[in-house]
Amino acid sequence: MKMNFGWLRAGWPRLAAWGLVLLLAAVPPLAAAPARPSQVQVARQFLLAILRADYAHAYQLLAPEVSAAVTPARFRAAAQPLYEKGQQFGPSIDLYKLGLRIGEGNDVRNFYSFLFKSDTLAPRPQVQLDVTFRDSTATRILSFGLIPAPQTSSKKPVR
């Protein structure tokens, strides 16, 4: 008795394709390379590190020229006022504004300002947490600080 396997030969490409699909489904996908964090993400990460007194982590996020010029002890002293404001207002922050600053030498710097969440409902926020980058592609902090909100009197102008 002769067996006819012609159907197997004719279905071989389809069988191979299904086998390949099953094999690919069983193999875990390759992990994608982690995306480079945006400036706003780096700024937020930097400020949150300072607010929880993780100065070593925050120091690592400084631009190379800044960390070369500033010792960790001086950085900690410079970051202390931000930490103290965090103790006063709480550690939660929100992005308030972002933009470009043009310096005296026409150098343009990207900046991000944050407010404490507890301060966002005030008529005028008391302080902004400010972070500056060298340019639009930089992901290391060039400068940081507190910007006190202008406090004006509530008197009406005299006419």
- Residue spans of the domains in the chain: they are 39-148
Question: What average pLDDT does this structure show over 134-140?
Answer: 94
Residue linked to tokens 């009197």: 153
* Rounded CA separation 147/128 (Å): 5
Contact 129, 82 (CB under 8 A): yes
Q: Which residues fall within 8 angstroms of residue 64, CB to CB, at 6 or more apart?
A: 140
- List of residues 6+ apart from 103 with CB closer than 8 A: 109
Which tens digits make up the pLDDT trace of 8-44? 555 556 656 655 555 566 666 666 667 889 999 999 9
Helix (H) or strand (E) holding 54: none
Q: In whole angstroms, what is the distance from residue 46 CA to residue 42 CA?
A: 6
Residue 71 — pLDDT band, cuts 50, 70, 90?
very high
What is the pLDDT at residue 2? Answer: 64
pLDDT of residue 85: 95
Looking at residue 54, what is its pLDDT? 98
Residue 86 contacts by C-beta under 8 Å, 6 or more apart in sequence?
Answer: 50, 51, 52, 116
112: phi then psi, degrees, rounded to nearest 5:
-135, 130
* pTM score above 0.75: no
CATH class of 39-148: alpha beta
